[in-house]
Structure 1
Amino acid sequence: MELNSKIYVFLTCILQAFLLSSASLEPFDLLYDNGVEAFYKGDYDSVVRYMESALKSFSEVRQTRIRCRLKCSDQHRFDSFLTDKIFDVILYRGHCLNQCIEGKIGAQRIPYNYLQLAYRKLGQLDKAASAAHTYFQANPEHVEMGEDLEQYKAQKGVKEEDFIDRESRPHQKAFFAGVKLYDKGNYEESVTLFEEALTEYYHADVECRALCEGPQHFEEQKHVLYKYNLYELISDHYTQVLHCQHECVRDLATRPGRLSPVENYLPLHYDYLQFAYFQAGRNEKALECALTYLLFHEGEEFMTENMEYYREVLGHDGQPRKEAEQYLRRHKQELDLLLIGSSNLGVPYIEGHYWSSSGGREDANRIPSGTDGWMDYVPISAKRNVTMSVLHELIGGPLLYENVRLVQNSDTLNGNQRVLFDDVITEDECSELKHLAHTVTAAGDGYKGKMSPHTPNEKFEGATVLKTLKYGYEGRVPLKSARLFYDVSEKARRIIESYFMLNSTLHFSYTHLVCRTAISGQQDHRNDLSHPIHADNCLLDPEANECWKEPPAYTYRDYSALLYLNGDFDGGEFIFTEMDAKTVTASVKPRCGRMVGFSSGGENPHGVRAVTRGQRCAVALWFTLDPLYRELERLQADEVIQALDSQHMWDQGLHINPKDEL
Structure 2
Amino acid sequence: MAPQRRGAPKAPEGSGAAGRRRPNSTKHVRAAREVRRKWLGTTILGACAVLAGLLLWSSRGGDDDVTEVLAHHREILPGRFIEVPCSEDYDSHRRFEGCSPRKCGRGITDTVITRDEAQRIRSIAEKGLSLGGSDGGASILDLHSGALSVGKHFVNLYRYFGDKIQTVFSEEDFQLYRDVRQKVQLTIAQAFGINASSLHLTKPTFFSRINSTQAQTAHDEYWHAHVDKVTYGSFDYTSLLYLSDYLDDFGGGRFVFVEEGANKTVEPRAGRVSFFTSGSENLHRVEKVHWGTRYAITIAFTCNPDHGIADPEFM
Between Structure 1 and Structure 2, the one with more strand by share is: 2
Query: Residue 561 of structure 1: which of 223, 234, 239 is its match?
Result: 239
Q: Distance in 2 between matches of 1:536 and 1:610?
A: 19
Map residues 6-155 of structure 1 onto 2, 5 A cutoff: none
- Given residue 495 of structure 1, which amino acid in structure 2 is its aligned partner? T
Does residue 113 of structure 2 align to residue 425 of structure 1? yes
Q: In the alignment, does 2:166 pair up with 1:474?
A: yes
Aligned partners of 1:496, 1:605: CA distance in 2, in Å? Answer: 18
Check whether the contact 1:463–1:512 (CA below 8 A) recurs between aligned residues: yes
Residue among 280, 286, 311 paired with 1:608: 286
What secondary structure does 2:179 align onto? helix
Give the counterpart of 2:265 among 587, 605, 613.
587
Asked whether the equivalents of residues 109 and 272 of structure 2 are also in contact (C-alpha less than 8 Å), the reply is yes
SS in structure 2 of the partner of residue 425 of structure 1? coil
Q: 2:141 aligns with which of 459, 462, 467?
A: 462
RMSD: 3.2
User: Among residues 175, 178, 201, which one is paired with 1:508 in the alignment?
Assistant: 201
- Structure 1 contact 529–608 (Cα < 8 Å) conserved: no
CA distance in 2 between counterparts of 1:477 and 1:555 reads 31
Report how far residue 479 of structure 1 moved: 2.7
Q: Which runs of 4+ in 1 moved over 4 A?
A: 465-473
State the SS of the aligned residue for 1:435: helix
TM-score, length of structure 1 as denominator length: 0.28
601 and 434 in structure 1: CA distance in 2 versus 1, 3 angstrom threshold: same
Give the match's secondary structure for 1:409: strand
Kindly provide the amino acid, as one letter, of the partner of residue 211 in structure 2. Answer: T
Q: Distance in 2 between matches of 1:557 and 1:425?
A: 22
Q: For 1:134-153, what per-residue CA distance to the aligned partner results, in whole angstroms no more than 9, with x for missing partners? A: xxxxxxxxxxxxxxxxxxxx
User: Given the two structures, how large is their TM-score scaled by the length of structure 2?
Assistant: 0.56
Report the secondary structure of 2:180's partner residue.
helix
Report deviation, 1:481: 2.1
CA shift for structure 1 position 584: 4.4
Amino acid at match of 2:302: T
CA distance in 2 between counterparts of 1:514 and 1:429 reads 17
Partner SS, residue 492 of structure 1: helix
Would the aligned equivalents of 2:201 and 2:300 in 1 still touch at CA under 8 Å? yes
Q: 1:535 to 1:471 in 2, by over 3 A?
A: farther
Deviation at 1:515, TM superposition (A): 1.2
1:575·1:584 contact (CA, 8 Å) conserved in 2?
no
Distance in 2 of aligned mates of 1:428 and 1:466: 26
- Provide the C-alpha distance between the structure 2 equivalents of 1:630 and 1:593, rounded to a whole number of angstroms: 25
- Aligned residues of 1:536 and 1:557 also touching (Cα < 8 A): yes
Q: What is residue 573 of structure 1 aligned with on the other side?
A: 254
| Aligned residues between the structures | 199
Verify the 8 A CA contact 1:422 1:594 in the aligned structure 2: yes
1:622 CA displacement: 1.2
Aligned counterparts of 2:79 and 2:189: Cα–Cα separation in 1: 14
Percent identity between the two aligned chains = 29
Residues in 2 aligned to 1:408 and 1:473: alpha-carbon distance in whole angstroms:
39
State the SS of the aligned residue for 1:534.
coil
Q: Secondary structure of 1:497's match?
A: helix
Q: Which residue of 2 aligns with 1:406?
A: 79
Q: Summarize the Cα distance change of 1:615–1:626 in structure 2 as closer, same or farther, 3 Å threshold.
A: same
Match of 1:542 in 2: none
Query: Contact 2:235 / 2:302 at 8 angstroms: preserved in 1?
Result: yes
Superposed, which structure 2 residues align to 1:267-286 within 5 Å? none
- Equivalent residue letter for 1:599: T
Cα pair 2:81 2:105 within 8 Å, conserved: no
Gaps of 5+ in 2: 1-75, 85-102, 147-156
- Assess if the C-alpha contact under 8 Å between 2:138 and 2:222 holds in 1: no
The aligned residue for residue 186 of structure 2 is: 494
Specify which structure has the higher proportion of helix.
1
Specify which of 296, 300, 305 is matched with residue 618 of structure 1: 296
The 5 A counterparts of 1:257-268 are none
